Structure 1
Amino acid sequence: SFSASAAYHWPVGDSLKGIARAGVVHDARRETALTAGTPGDAVTSANARIGLESPNGWSGYLYGENLTDDDGALNARTTYGLGNRQRPRTLGIVLRYDY
């Protein structure tokens, strides 16, 4: 397995904080002695998030998960060829308020 990530924070105006984060994870093919099927696949996934945070408790972000849209088997497949997989590429908005 290999993973790397980076984060950057910067001031926006008088009180807001901008945040950007990105990360990537790579896992090599995995084989498990508990299954009689074939090994899993090498899987690479990238995630990113950018947003604003307020000292008043609210924040908002745009995010993307599994940006590579990798759909390989995460672990060894069963004899039927079934294996766990990541969720497909997902894009979204997160709005949050802490009180």
Structure 2
Amino acid sequence: MSELDPVIHAQARLRIMAALSSLGPGDRMTFPKLQQLLDMTAGNLSVHLTKLEQAGYVEVVKSFRGRTPTTSAGLTNRGRVAFDDYTAQLRALLDPPKES
């Protein structure tokens, strides 16, 4: 069994990945909604999103809604695969195959 992905394994980043994985491919969640959902400070969420973005797992998009700046985040294809792999490895670790 390979090692669990250390980028995802940190509790805050795992929570971010789980929240974003609930979205459809290509969908994003606004920063305030993600912050409220995870009950994280803006600074803490920002630091962990940056780490996930640097790994290529999350795409952060800054745009304007009218004149109001808005930030949203979503999983990249690479991030979705990495999260699926992570959860499969975790399941295998928690429920190893039974020997006959």
Q: Shorter-chain TM-score: what band? A: under 0.3
Bigger Rg over Cα = 1
Bigger proportion of residues as helix? 2
Bigger proportion of residues as strand? 1
Higher relative contact order (CA 8 A, sep 6+): 2
* Length-normalised TM-score, structure 2: 0.24
